[in-house]
Amino acid sequence: MADQVDEVKSKIDIVSLISEYVELKRAGRNYKALCPFHSEKSPSFMVSPELQIFKCFGCQKGGDAITFLQEYEGMDFPEALKFLAERVGVKLIRENFVGKDNKERLYEINSLASRFYHYILLNHNAGKIALDYLKNERGVKLDTIKTFQIGYSPDTPLAFKKYLVEKKKISLKELEKVGLIYSKNGVAFDRFRGRIIFPLHDHRGNIVGFSGRVLPEARNDIAKYINSPETEIYHKSKILFGLQFTKGEIKKEKEAVIVEGELDAISSWQVGIKNIVAIKGSALTDEQVRLLGRFTQKLILALDTDFAGNEAARRGFETAEKLGFDIKVAKLYGFKDPDEAARKDPEKLKESLTKAKDVWDFIIDLIFERYPSLNGSDKAKISREIIPILSDIKDKIVQAHYIDIVARKLGVSLEVVSEQVNKVVGEEVEKPKLEILVKPQAKMRRELLEERFLAIVFRYDPRILLKNTRLIKLIQTPLAKRIVEEFKSFSKKHADFDPSLFASLLPGELVDGYVDLILKDIKGLDPENPERMEKEIVLIEKELSVLDVKEKLEEVSLQIGDLEELKDLKMVKRKEEEFGELTKKLNELEHKNFKGIIL
């Protein structure tokens, strides 16, 4: 197993991988970006193509390509390894991972079930009614059915038993674990029996669950739609239907259209709205918002108008706003949903998306449209609905803007509306929790200078560590001294310097320090500019010399004090002479044109 892990790591290009998730910019021999793991305004996330690692100097997360996928995508180790192996064409030996890839087994079961359902819909008499319904009544084309892998679960007990259980050797326990069946009084039942099946993928393309829709002739006492239950791999709040097919178009168009159901998304996609996804219900969750944030910062909602009163939905908007999203809402005049609009008048649907309004404008307009007469009774109803919504707007400037709009629409003073909103917000302000803030000990200037020197030479020319003996003698901090010694030993055995090989041969306690040196952004310097780098090394040597003399002066001063107490006048005189020589040397170093390095 270790050999295969090393093989995958040796073939992967971490810069290429991470650049698919965040925008990397060249920084000398490394790359930098805003950290994807915490909020920041200045980039502190660094990627080294030489070491094939990343590190954020803000939140301290770091590691290799596998670690990145585990942190960013939430993959476990086998998932991340499999993903990278497929990317670089390494065929993993399955026996190495038996018992460690439970998720992969569940994905495999869902994939087999999806193939079964899809086959039944397209090739079996049992699926003919469902296929006719999709094609003739819902206008779903055959190519679209194949793209979205739509299927049908026959209205018979455990129809997939022969295929999944007997042929593919999947146990009933596994089928229940993945949510395909449920048990009642010891009897197993097909959860999706008699339903059109929509496979639910994660954004990487794994089938994590299913959604099932009844046919029109089904009994009225059963739910129109059901979904897989929450499982190890299916979490409703994290899934966006269609994203695995549309994420490229979302990135290209720089906006995502969000609808409520699978057929809303499929019908819209079929008429050319390719940058579309569907959520389950009208509540846009934090997880879905963050997932979409990987591809765009602009969202257009084309949801059921009931979402205006949905607190969970508004929380989703607030999350999106805090993360810098531009959110708009499309109003589908004359149609109950995007599916109907796409089938009857696709151009009008596209026009409604183009004319989408800001979310708070849409909600306020919608409430006022319900009470057009604006008599006293209507104003009271509007107030009851709209004041809690205004109080939910966390950005005070945005809130003030909409308070002003509502006041003008109601024909009342701004102060009256503000007072009502403040009543809902209440007087209670959460007191900040008292926390003990332990600040990390600040590094001394000598340590910063020595680290800067090593960061420069390892990027520019490590052989300087063998040539500039005068400067090397000035290095005193433990980490810097040990790394220099390790480099000298390395150079005796290796003619050429390989940063990755050097890192692999370092003692474990030095690796993190060395990685920081290699990845740290050297402000104001370009490693590709030899003249500038050489001047910086000269400046560092000069300032380290100044620090060295100052430290010696301090030491001699203390010695003089001790000798005076002992009344050793001969030694006092000798130390005073030494102090004088050091002072003279310091004056020579600190001439009027000398300027320290800005760190």
324 & 218 share domain = no
CATH of the domain at 129: 3.90.980.10
Q: Are residues 228 and 164 in the same domain?
A: yes
> What domain count does the chain have?
5
Q: Is the pTM above the cut of 0.85? A: no
Q: Are residues 267 and 138 in the same domain?
A: no
In a domain, 255, yes or no: yes
Yes or no: say if 455 and 517 are a contact pair by the CB < 8 Å rule: yes
Do residues 380 and 494 share a domain?
no
Look at residue 384 and tell me if it is in a domain: yes
Sheet containing strand 225-227, edge to edge, reads: 151-153, 195-201, 207-214, 225-227
φ and ψ at residue 339, rounded to 5 degrees: -60, -50
Instruction: Specify whether 349 is located in the same domain as 416.
Output: no
Residue where one domain finishes, among candidates 73, 97, 121: 97
What domain range is 380 assigned to?
371-424
Residue recorded with tokens 């003990």: 436
**Residue 315: both structure tokens together:** 């929380």
Q: Are residues 417 and 532 in the same domain?
A: no
Coil/strand/helix, residue 586: helix
Tell whether 329 is covered by a domain: yes
Joined together, the tokens standing for residue 75 give 């993959």
Q: What is the CATH number of the domain that holds 295?
A: 3.40.1360.10
Domain for residue 126, yes or no?
Answer: yes
Indicate the angle between helix axes 65-73 and 77-88, nearest 10 degrees. 120
Question: What one-letter code names the amino acid at 352?
Answer: S
CB 363 within 8 A of CB 389: yes
Please identify, among 97, 117, 139, the residue that sits at the C-terminal boundary of a domain.
97
The one-character DSSP state at 463 is T
Identify the three-state secondary structure at position 59. coil
Query: What tens-digit pLDDT sequence spans the chain (599 residues)?
Result: 567 888 898 899 999 999 988 889 988 888 999 998 888 888 889 999 988 999 998 888 999 999 999 988 888 888 889 899 999 998 887 655 444 468 888 999 999 999 999 999 999 999 999 999 999 999 999 999 999 999 999 998 888 888 999 999 999 999 999 999 998 888 888 999 999 999 999 988 899 999 999 998 877 778 889 999 999 999 998 999 999 999 999 999 999 999 988 999 999 999 999 999 999 766 788 889 889 988 898 999 987 656 555 565 666 677 777 777 888 989 888 888 999 999 999 999 999 999 998 888 888 888 888 888 888 888 888 998 889 888 878 788 988 999 999 999 999 999 989 988 888 766 434 433 323 333 334 568 888 888 888 888 888 888 888 888 888 888 888 888 899 999 999 988 888 888 888 888 888 888 888 888 888 777 666 666 778 888 888 888 888 888 888 888 888 888 888 777 777 788 878 888 888 888 888 787 776 455 555 55
Residues 449 and 379 in one domain: no
If asked whether residues 318 and 273 sit together in one domain, one would say yes
Q: Based on the fold, state whether residues 345 and 414 are members of the same structural domain.
A: no
- In a shared domain, residues 92 and 113: no
Q: Are residues 159 and 282 in the same domain?
A: no
Please give the structure tokens belonging to residue 331.
């109003």
Residue with tokens 């009543």: 423
Residues whose CB falls within 8 Å of the CB of residue 28, separated by 6 or more in sequence, listed in order: 459, 522, 525, 526, 527, 528
Nearest to 519 by CA among 30, 13, 23, 17: 30
Residues 287 and 402 in one domain: no
Question: If we measure between CA atoms, which residue out of 156, 152, 168 comes closest to residue 213?
Answer: 152
